[in-house]
Structures are given as C-alpha cells and as structure tokens.
Amino acid sequence: RPLLVYSLPQPHSLSSLHYMPLRSTILNSLSKTMSYSTTSTQFHTQHIQSLARQVLPLGQKRDLQQIVNDIPDSARVVLIGEQSHGTADYYAIRAELSKMLIQQKGFNAIATEADWPDALEVNKYWRGHKKGANHALGEFSRWPRWMWRNKVVLQFVDWLKEHNSQFSDPKEFVNFFGLDMYSLQSSRDAVVNYLEKVDPELAQKARKSYACFDRFGESDQSYGYAMSLGFNKSCEDSVLKVIRELHENQGRLVDEAKEGDDAHFYALQNAKVVKDAENYYRHMFASNVSTWNIRDEHMADCLCDLIKYKKKVQNKNAKVIVWAHNSHLSGVSLQKGEWNLGELCRKRFPGEESYIALFTSHTGTVTAAHQWDSPPQCMRVNPSLENSYERLFHEVVKEAGTNQLPHKRFILLMSKIDKETKKFLSEKRLERAIGVIYAAKTEFWSHYVNVRLTEQCDALIHVDHSHALIPLEIKPQWKQQHDKHHQHLDDVPETFPFGL
C-alpha cells in the first residue's frame, strides 16, 4: 500500500519507506531538492475577509444541505474525500452527507477505498447472513484495520441495514463496495471458491493458473522483487487466462449459480483485481512505470463496471458515492505524469455527471501509525504550515469569529464564490495529506503537496480542529494518548461531531 508520502517522485512504488535503510538519506536529499518555500506567506487581509464573508457555517447536520443542493440532479458519481485515513470528523461528516444523498438524490451504492472481497462481505448483513455490523466488518482483518473497523463506519453500516429493510427486492439495496486492488490472495481464493460451486473443472483450471504465484511465497512484494530481477517468468498470462474463461462461460456459469448474475459479477471483479494486482506488484520496483496510475485506473475501471452492472440489474442509472483519500479524489493529479481517480472520473463522467467534495484541517489529532504494520497511535497533528491552504482557512476561521463560525467548521462552494476569490484560490499553495502513517518530524517533505484548490474540488469542508478516528479495537496505548489529548473516551457522544 502507498504511504501517501506525496513529495517523493514515486512514493507508491515503495511498499513502505521505513523498510529502506537509507530513509534519512532520502529525506536529506529531498530537503535539498524541494522547490517549496517554508518561509511565511502573508495572506492579504482583504482576501481573508472576503473568504470569511463567503464561507458557509457547518455546525449541524442540516448545514450539509447546502452541499446537497449544490450537487446537480444529473450527477452520477459524488466523490467525498478525507485528508487523512484516521480523522473522525471527516468520516462522520461524510457519512451524514452520504445518507442525505441516498435519501434525497437516489444514490444507490457506496464505493470505497477498500479491497473488493472484504467490502463485499458487508452486504451480507442486510441479507441476513451476518449477526451484526461488527461481524459484517470482520473481513477487514489486515492492517490498517482502523480504516474500516471504526465507530463511524460501524454506525453507518447499521444505518444502511435499516435503510435497506424497506425494500423487499434485494436489487434495490444500497450496497457497500470496495474499489481497491490489494487483495491478491483473497481475490484468488474468492474466484476459485465461486467456480467450485458452479464448475469444479474450471475451478481446477483457475487453481492451476493462480498457482503461478505460489513459488514466490506469501508476500506479494516478493513477487514484485523477483520480477524486478528478471529471473522468473511473470504470472500475467496465467491471470488473463482465468478472466477469459469467466467471460467465455458466463451464460452457463450464471445459470448454475444460485445467486445468478451477482455471484458471477463479483467473481469476475475479483479476477480483475488479481489481474491488476499482478500488474501492480510486477512493476512495484520499476522506475519507468507508475504503480499509482495502475492502482487508480483499476479503481476507476471498477467503478465504471459497477455502474454498468447496477444499471443492467436495476434497469436504471446507477448513482454512486465514492469514499477515498483526497489524493485519489482530487480533480487533478498531484504529480506530473500521474493521474488519479478524481481526474479519471471527471473525464468519464464530464460536466455535471461528477461532483467532488474534499476536506482540510489546521490541527487536531489523528489515528495513524509511525511505521508500516505497527499499532495505531492517537497523534497530535502539527499546526499547518504558514503558506498552506490549511493555514489560510485557519485565518478565515479566526477572522469570522465564534459568532459566525462557533464550531470552527465551514463549507466553501466553488460555484458560489466571486471571481476575485476564485482567482485567489487558483494560486498554487501547499496542502497536507496524511495517510495511514504520520511522520510529524518530516511533515513538510512527507505530507505536503502544491495544489490549486479550484482545480481540485467543487466543495471544500474545513474542520479547523479535527479529532482522531476511534477504532473498534482500542489498544491501551491509543486510549491513553486519546485521553491525554481529548476528553475521556467514555465521554465522547454518539452524535459526534454534530452534538445533536
């Protein structure tokens, strides 16, 4: 998985920066080559005052209606981001906004930055095959578990079950899907398990094809390393063979499957995950191929496949809400020569067919790890750099004061701001991005990129002081850190962050 260390030329090609013994050398080198300035940038008072007049307060759930009203009825995809993978405010606000879009605008699927087979298990909850929301989220067993096994997602899954209970036809359910492609092993297993039920002979063929990976051990990165050395033939032809078999035998397999079209579609998507994951890991250590592009193009293809399939089975246009990191959903790529899911969606769903809402924060706390595969920590987030968009919005909050923004949160709609402000927000400034790892001491190099805000999104939600996401599995160290930074964990209201 990428570290989200966006200042590196190709961070996504590295399984984890902390595996590299020359980490300090890399950071020292970066400090000499970075073009960004760390000196203070004085924002003109007139711009801050103008923004303060145009931002919309976000205190109660009903204030999100302003974003809902801004989204065109013709929108087919609404992409809602997060500036970190461990901030409760982003998750909670995104969940409430999603509920409103489902209820008011007819959105009928949630597609997330999660692995396809793990997310698919969640849908068994409203089909009566899971004992509760916690059980439904049980397949999210790999690190970082807190991304999906947290209080906000748990409550949202319970809400989805209640919402879906009004439908007698499962085709009308609002389902929960994953767009990501890190499930190389579990997706292989899912394809074989499906074929075992409908065609044991094909299952044996698929098992033989996928056995190509066995000689590289259990680590997906080991396959990538072996490919980079050029000592072994790749598994590309083997995984493509399985997809061809699924396509060529689709009609017969669908007839044999008890779940019909759904089971075959899910298996085919798992086969596509294997295909793109093989491509990703094969190029992991190659300098001439962006694995970031492979990953985000897979997510875009998966989203399009999902939309086409839902239209086929429901006989109406699918409307999908996408949950992912800001870096994936930004309307423009953050690195030269790369593209992301947001940019691809704007091309595939042009004009009013797509809408992007992103988040920012000035400071607060975040659930993240110090290094790969290590336990989550509740960390203090540094105050934003002075020449960043986050610092600009912090100044706007101070200018507006508690009378206008008592909760120190606001919404900024690009369609509503005046021309002068739009020009001002089109200037390049730093913007923070925290993934599952937060390196506070090297934050300038590891967590900031240069962006033009107006190119990124249609709506911006700023939370001046954010709060760490609460995992379902709370470790004593995390709880101790959380209670040090915030109120006691037992006192956090269920209605956080709106307090209703």
CA dihedral 312, 313, 317, 319 (to 10 degrees): -120
pLDDT at residue 34 is higher than 50:
no
Q: What is the DSSP string of 310-373?
A: HHHHHSS---EEEE--HHHH-SS-SSTT---HHHHHHHHS-GGGEEEEEEEEEEEEEEEBSSTT
How buried is 495 (Cβ within 10 angstroms: 0-12 exposed, 13-18 middle, 19+ buried)?
exposed
CA dihedral 269, 270, 272, 274 (to 10 degrees): 170
Fill in the DSSP letter of residue 498: T
Q: Which of 313-317, 322-326, 475-479, 493-497 has the highest mean pLDDT?
A: 322-326
Per-residue pLDDT tens over the stretch 388-410? 999 999 999 999 999 999 999 99
Least confident of 97-101, 335-339, 406-410: 335-339
Determine how β-strand 409-413 pairs with β-strand 354-368.
unpaired
Fill in the DSSP letter of residue 468: B
Per-residue pLDDT tens over the stretch 48-57? 999 999 999 9
Determine how β-strand 109-115 pairs with β-strand 409-413.
unpaired
73, two tokens? 């009825």
8 A C-beta contact, residue 222 and residue 184: no
State residue 2's pLDDT score.
38
Q: Is 468 left (phi over 0), alpha (psi -120 to 50) or beta?
A: beta
Q: Can you tell me the distance from the alpha carbon of 280 to that of 294, in angstroms, rounded to the nearest whole number?
A: 6
Least confident of 196-210, 243-257, 379-393: 243-257
Read off the pLDDT of each residue in 148-175 and give the average, rounded to a whole number.
Answer: 96
Q: Can you tell me the distance from the alpha carbon of 3 to that of 337, in angstroms, rounded to the nearest whole number?
A: 19
38, two tokens? 């760390």
Label residue 21 by pLDDT band (50, 70, 90).
very low
443, two tokens? 């934050």
pLDDT at residue 466 is higher than 70:
yes
State residue 366's pLDDT score.
97
How high does pLDDT run on average in the chain? 89
Fill in the DSSP letter of residue 71: S
State residue 334's pLDDT score.
79
Determine how β-strand 175-180 pairs with β-strand 109-115.
parallel
8 A C-beta contact, residue 116 and residue 179: yes
Read off the pLDDT of each residue in 288-314 and give the average, rounded to a whole number.
Answer: 94
